[in-house]
Amino acid sequence: MHIPDGYLGPVTYLSSYVACVPLWGAAARKVQAGLTARRVPLLAISAAFTFVVMMFNVPLPGATTGHAVGGVLIAIAVGPWGAALAISIALAIQALLFGDGGITAIGANCLNIAFVMPFTGYAVYRRLARCFPSPKGQAIAAGIGGWAGLTCAAFTTAVMFGIQPLLHTASDGRALYAPYPLSVTVPVMVLEHLLLFGVVEALLTGLAVYHLRGSRSAWILQAADGGVPMKEYRAFWIALLALALLSPLGLYLPELMRAGTAWGEWSLEEIRQMVGYVPAGMQQLNDVWKALLPDYALPGQDEAPLAHRSLAYILSALLGIGLCGGATYILTRRLTKKSR
């Protein structure tokens, strides 16, 4: 669901930024008012976690790939406003440094992934969790919330794609940006997330909540700040490092299964093969930003052996964890100091 540059016209991507600016401000105020200093590291860990988990591309039927986000899991731990802030920071770093998602589309990606997903999924979780208070019931509620949140985010992303031919068309009738209409984008994106990627998100969210509720780390899922064992944060950072070392699975598995590009994230050449031309606006915006480590690889590594790309993937994961965790910690630490 990372929308690249060139897929959205200026009407959509500028409107997304306009919508996100007050939401980011509200998220900062909510975190400032509700997050205590002892839980600041948890928000930093959340940003680092969502960054690295999105690197695990999973091959699925239909020769496509997808990944989990962990947005609802984070919302359960730090609240939906905290999740929105943490995921937004991760998405911005992904776009700026790694070219995962476009610069022009940061607002759109944040609107879909950082706001729609955690808020809708968290609302579903809260409603179901009140009906099923047992540990298993809470885990199932979390899984359904993760599934619902990702599917809703897929729907809003599909709408953004699908309205482009209505908003921007050349004199010859060709689309200037994303070429597929709503009649294509909505069924494809919603169904693949409803039936495939949403299941992955549900398993991640539900199993994580079930494990946490039965462990000494159950305090993560509690709003109260009392008795937070600060030493436990060290174990979570170690777990993130382990995920970084395992991140090349996001390269190996799609290549092993001969999976193609995620839907809506195609290259210009792939677009040409699918629709017979490259939309002019897409061509113009395609090179608007040159990421330092495009696709979590070193420049010029497109044809490099998989082992070399795997090493760059690990280094990118470690760098992303450090940047996401550090940026989120610094920002939220300043906010909590102001609140005191």
Q: How far, in Å, CA of 197 to CA of 157, rounded?
A: 14
Q: How far, in Å, CA of 227 to CA of 310, rounded?
A: 40
Q: How far, in Å, CA of 5 to CA of 12, rounded?
A: 12
2 within domain boundaries: no
HSE (side-chain half, CA atoms, 13 Å) at 47: 30
- Render pLDDT for 196-233 as a digit per residue (tens, 0 to 9): 899 999 999 999 999 988 887 777 877 655 555 667 78
Query: Terminus-to-terminus CA distance in the chain, angstroms?
Result: 38
In the predicted model, what is the mean pLDDT of the chain? 92
114 within domain boundaries: yes
CB 122 within 8 A of CB 72: yes
Least confident stretch, 37-46, 47-56, 82-91: 37-46
| Total number of domains constituting the chain | 1
Q: How far, in Å, CA of 50 to CA of 31, rounded?
A: 18
204 within domain boundaries: yes
CB 244 within 8 A of CB 314: yes
**Residue 63 pLDDT grade (very low, low, confident, very high; cuts 50, 70, 90):** low
- Which of 64-68, 166-170, 193-197 ranks highest by mean pLDDT? 166-170
Of 205, 77, 72, 200, the C-alpha closest to 139 is 205
pLDDT of residue 339: 55
Can you give the residue range of the structural domain that contains 162?
A: 10-339
For the domain that residue 72 is a member of, what is the CATH number? 1.10.1760.20
4 within domain boundaries: no
Q: How far, in Å, CA of 121 to CA of 118, rounded?
A: 5
- Render pLDDT for 266-318 as a digit per residue (tens, 0 to 9): 999 999 999 999 999 999 999 899 999 999 998 888 778 888 899 999 999 99
pLDDT of residue 246: 97
With a threshold of 0.85, does the pTM exceed it? Answer: yes
73 within domain boundaries: yes
pLDDT of residue 264: 92
